[in-house]
Amino acid sequence: MAEFSFTTEQQELRAAVRKFCADNFDEPTVRTLMESDVTYDPAVWLRLGSELGVLGMSVPEADGGVGGSLVDQAVAVEEFGAALGCGPLFGTVYLAIPALVACGSGPTRDELLAALVEGERTAAFAVNDSAGGFDPNVTITAAGSGDAAVLTGTAARVVDATAADVILVAAKGSDGVSLYAVDAAAVRRTPLVTMDLTRPQADVIFSDSPARLLAGPADAERVITHALQVGAALLAVEAVGAAQHMLDLSVEYSKSRLQFGRHIGSFQAIKHRLADMLVDLEHARSTAYHAVWALTDGTDDPELAVSIAQAVCSAAFSRIAADSIQVHGGIGFTWEHQAHLYFKRAATDAALLGSAESRRARVAELVLDSATVDEPPPVAVGIA
C-alpha cells in the first residue's frame, strides 16, 4: 500500500460515497436539515453505517468493523466534506470510533463500538484538546470507580453533542484522568447557535451522571491522543473535499459568467486567483493524505504529519472558501448561494482540533528548535 497510491476498490468506494451524497446530501436537503431541530436524518445515518459501511472503515473485523484502513475512511470522509454531509461525523467517525478502537476490549467498549460503526447509535467527544493534543487540565470530576463512577462538571462547546446518543468524556478522579461513556439521557445539553449550522454544538452539563469506564488513567492519555490525531487527519481530509468542491464551483462559474462580453475566467485576475487556489488545494491534499498514511503505516511521526496537515489544510480551505466568494462576486455573498455554507465550514474546521497557528507552533518546535547546524550557507562579509 504505497503512499498516495489508491486501489481500484478505493476508487470504487469514492464513487459509491459520492453517489450516496448526491442522493442524500443534495443542497436542498442540507439546508433543510441544518435549520431543523434534529440536524441530521437518523435513517440516512443508519444506512451509512449498515448499508455502505463507511462510518468505521478502519475498525478491525474482530471489533465488528470491515477491517479496512484509515485511507479507506479518508476517501469516504473527503466525499462527505465535498457535500457537507449531515450527521455527527466529527463526534462519531473522526473522534469517538478511533478512541474506542484504541481502548482495550470490554463489554461497554465492544457494544458501543459496534453500534457506532453500524450507525445505530451516535456519539460526541467531550474532551478538551490543547492545540489539538492531549490536555491534562480536565475540569470534569469523577467520583466512585469503574462502572460505578458518576461525573460532575461542564464540557463547553461539544461538537455534535445535540445529536449524540452517547458522550465520550474525560474526567479526573482520585487516581487521574480516565475516559468514560455517558448516556446522553443522563446529562443536560444546552444547544448553541453555531456559525456553521451544519456542525452543531452544545454545552454538556454532567451532574452526578452515571458513567461507564472506557480507559483508566494508565491508558486514557494514549487513547485520547490517538483519537485526536486520527480526528485531525480526517478533519484535514474533510477540508480537502470541501475545498475541492469550492474550486470546482468557482471554475464552473468563471467559465459561464459573462462580463465585458467575455467569460470572466479569461481575465488573468480571475484565472491567476483560481490557479493559486488549485496549488493550495493540491498542497492540502498531499499533506492530508500524508497524515492519513503516516497513521496507517507509521512511515512518519504521526504528530508531525498531523500538525503539517492541519496547518496547511486549515489555511488552504479558508483561503479557497474566501476566494470562491470573491470569484462569484455578489451572488457569492447571498444566503441563496452555497458558498457561505463552505466558508462557515472552513472557519469551523480551522478552529477545531488546533488552529493553523497553534499547529505551526508545534511544527516549529518539532522542526526548527531541534535543527542542528551542519552546513550553514556562506554569508558575504563585504570582502571581495
Partner 1 sequence: MTTAFDADQVAKIALEVVAEHDPKQVPLPEFLGACYDAGLAWVHFPEGLGGLGTSRGLQAVADDILQGAGGPVPLGLNPMGYGMAAPTVREHAQTDEIKKFFLRPLATTEDIWCQLFSEPGAGSDLAGLATSAVLDGDDWVINGQKVWTSLAHKARWGLLLARTDVDTPKHKGLTYFILDMHAPGVETRPLRQMTGQAEFNEVYITDARIPDSHRLGAVGDGWRVAMTTLMNERSALGASGSRRGAGTISEAVQLWASRPDLHTPVLRDRLTTLWLRAEAQRLTSERSRASATAGGPGPEGSIGKMVGAELNQRIYEFCMDLLGPEGILYHGYAMHGTHRDGDWRGPIQQRYLRSRANTIEGGTSEVMRNILGERVLGLPGDLRADAGMPWKDVPRG
Binding region for partner 1 (CB under 8 A): 2-5, 251, 254-255, 262-263, 265-268, 270-272, 274-276, 278-279, 282-287, 289-290, 308, 311-312, 357, 360-361, 363-364, 367-368, 371-384
Nearest distance from residue 276's CB to partner 1, in Å? 7
- The neighbouring-strand residues paired with 177 are 172
Q: Which is nearer to partner 1, 30 or 284 (CB)?
A: 284
Q: Which is nearer to partner 1, 193 or 379 (CB)?
A: 379
Q: Which is nearer to partner 1, 28 or 376 (CB)?
A: 376
Nearest distance from residue 236's CB to partner 1, in Å? 12
Nearest distance from residue 78's CB to partner 1, in Å? 14
Rounded Cα–Cα distance for residues 229 and 201 (Å): 21
Q: Which is nearer to partner 1, 107 or 382 (CB)?
A: 382
How many residues appear in the chain? 384
Nearest distance from residue 26's CB to partner 1, in Å? 25
Q: Which is nearer to partner 1, 223 or 295 (CB)?
A: 295
Nearest distance from residue 273's CB to partner 1, in Å? 9
CA end-to-end distance (rounded Å), the chain: 54
Rounded Cα–Cα distance for residues 110 and 99 (Å): 12
Nine-digit cell at 144? 466512585
Q: Which is nearer to partner 1, 213 or 284 (CB)?
A: 284
Q: Which string of b and e fits 214-247 if b means at least 16 CB within 10 Å?
A: bbbeeebbebbbbbbbbbbbbbbbbbbbbbbbbb
Nearest distance from residue 244's CB to partner 1, in Å? 12
Output the DSSP codes for 221-246: HHHHHHHHHHHHHHHHHHHHHHHHHH
Q: Which is nearer to partner 1, 45 or 289 (CB)?
A: 289
Nearest distance from residue 32's CB to partner 1, in Å? 32
Half-sphere exposure of 305 (CA within 13 A, CB side): 23
Q: Which is nearer to partner 1, 6 or 183 (CB)?
A: 6
Nearest distance from residue 292's CB to partner 1, in Å? 12
Question: In degrees to the nearest 10, what's the CA dihedral of 233, 237, 242, 245?
Answer: 170
Q: Which is nearer to partner 1, 198 or 250 (CB)?
A: 250
Nearest distance from residue 133's CB to partner 1, in Å? 17
Rounded Cα–Cα distance for residues 76 and 57 (Å): 9
Rounded Cα–Cα distance for residues 226 and 294 (Å): 12
Rg (CA), the chain: 22
Contact by Cβ (8 Å): 272, 265:
no
CA distances 270 to 60, 73, 151, 338, Å, are: 47, 35, 55, 20
